[in-house]
Amino acid sequence: MNFAYSDSKTIEDYINDNLTDEAKSIALDFVSFLRENDIEFYKDNGTSWKDKIYYHLKFNGKFVGFIALKNPDEPENMWTVWSDDCKAFEYGNIDDKIKETAYKHIDFCGKCGSCGGGRKKIIFGKEFNKVCGCTFRTDNPNKEDLPFLKKTIELHKEYIVSNDVIRHYNSLIDEGNDPVLDSKPLQDYMDKWDGQSFIDKMELNRNKSVLEIGVGTGRLAVRTAPCCDRFYGIDISAKTIERAKENIEKYSNVTLLCGDFLTFNFKSKFDVIYSSLTFMHIKDKQNAVNKVSSLLNPDGIFVLSIEKNQSEYIDFGTRKIPVYPDTPDSIDACIKNANLNLTEQYETEYAYIFVAMEKSHRL
């Protein structure tokens, strides 16, 4: 299929030429949002759409949706937005109002042949039958539909970024990278983000349970696991977790989990939760800190190291990984909003360190 533009017009030009009044305003608002989120537009010049105005929406080369304007086959519709199927639509973190709007725009099978009769899908926690492959279709979106349309893009984009991050860390293992096996100079270099002072803030002892968010191959776990009663580490990369199991196998108190911290259903609470160089991969910082707070035992301690670098990408030469930079002020606010006591904040050469305690702790 040919995705090249047939002319020099942009989608905004087509919107201005073909839509009017509120429809034009809403469409331009949505397109502006898409551009702000680095969504690419590809006009479809294939056989079916050559003489029509139909755009593919992509992020990092992957489909996130589609837009059609004034399709002559559907004269009743001024414009239409489709999503593209995404697992993030199963249990996305959305509010009830957006969920209600989503259920109004489920694209049930219209027997066009493209989806083979529809599929059974779980959409935001509820099961539906005979759903078309694209999941959502919104004809003639109004202002009330805009938050829902934008949320589908955000969820899909976050899902793509998460998968890119997983592939990146899997690739690091394939390429032979393992910080646990680094030479002493390299380990000392990594300590510039955390180090022994970071570990000391956890106040570890053999009676405490500990969770590391983003355990990696066990760079910090090999130092913390021997000092506690029960150690848990979670990471989204299966290959990284397998390597961590090899690196920490001599400790019988270790449980390693492959999953997303934000969605994983933990069966217990913890006395200590810590994370270093992982929050840059989490967009919703407040949700993450809220979950930390909910998982802490009374008097529990949270220790966090965030990267000082404010770049929106990590460039590894052969691949660039999008990240969500942290700032001291934003993390400070997240901690306070999560009803935790921020007891200490300091900085190392490359990081800011935060120490917080569950509110029942008396200062």
Task: Supply the range of the domain harboring residue 101.
Answer: 11-165
Claim to verify: residue 343 and residue 227 sit in the same structural domain: yes
Instruction: Describe the crossing of helices 238-247 and 146-174 by its angle, rounded to 10 degrees.
Output: 40
At 322 the pLDDT is 85
pLDDT attached to residue 158: 87
My answer on whether 184 and 332 are in the same domain is: yes
pLDDT digits (tens, 9 = 90+) for 171-203: 999 999 999 989 999 999 999 999 999 999 999
Q: DSSP secondary-structure letter at 219?
A: T
Do residues 142 and 185 share a domain? no
- Strands 230-235 and 313-315, by their bridges, are unpaired
Q: What pLDDT, on the 0 to 100 scale, is given for residue 7?
A: 62
Same domain for 38 and 143, yes or no, is: yes
Q: Is residue 333 part of a domain?
A: yes
Q: What share of the chain is helix, strand, coil (3-state, %, to 5)?
A: 35, 30, 35
148 and 194 both lie in a single domain:
no
- Assess if residue 171 is contained within a domain: no
- Taking a C-beta distance cutoff of 8 angstroms, is the pair 145, 75 a contact? no
Whether 33 maps to a domain, the answer reads: yes
Q: State residue 303's pLDDT score.
A: 98
Number of domains observed in the structure of the chain? 2
Judge contact between 322 and 312, C-beta under 8 A.
Answer: yes
Burial class (CB in 10 A: 0-12, 13-18, 19+), 263: exposed
**Cα(138)–Cα(47) distance, integer angstroms:** 24
Residues 214, 330 within the same domain: yes
Q: Of the candidates 141, 165, 189, which is a domain's last residue? A: 165
* pLDDT of 280: 94
Rounded to whole angstroms, the Cα distance separating 64 from 85 reads: 8
In a domain, 5, yes or no: no
Instruction: Give alpha helix (H) positions in the chain.
Output: 11-18, 21-36, 88-91, 96-104, 146-174, 184-190, 195-200, 221-224, 238-247, 285-295, 328-337
| The domain boundary residue, chosen from 142, 165, 188 | 165
User: Is 201 found in the same domain as 138?
Assistant: no
Q: According to the model, what pLDDT value does residue 46 have? A: 80
- DSSP letter at 79 equals E
Same domain, 192 and 337: yes
Say yes or no: 99 and 244 in one domain.
Answer: no
The segments of the chain whose pLDDT lies below 70 read: 1-7, 110-117, 360-363
Does residue 4 lie in a domain region? no
Q: Kindly state the tokens that stand for 3.
A: 């995705």
d(CA 333, CA 349): 23
- 107 lies in the same domain as 229: no
Tokens of 6: 């047939």
Residues 202 and 327 in one domain: yes
User: What is the CATH number for 207?
Assistant: 3.40.50.150
* Domain-located, residue 261: yes
End residue of a domain, out of 130, 165, 200: 165
The answer to whether 294 and 272 have CB atoms below 8 angstroms apart is: no
The angle at the Cα of 166, spanning 67 to 90, to the nearest 5 degrees, equals 50
Same domain? For 109 and 137 the reply is: yes
**In a domain? residue 2:** no
Residue 329 CA to chain centroid, in angstroms? 21
Q: What is the rounded distance in angstroms from the CA atom of residue 298 to the CA atom of residue 301?
A: 9
Predicted confidence at residue 116, as pLDDT, reads 65
Amino acid at 121: K
Please indicate, yes or no, if residue 206 is contained in any of the structural domains.
Answer: yes
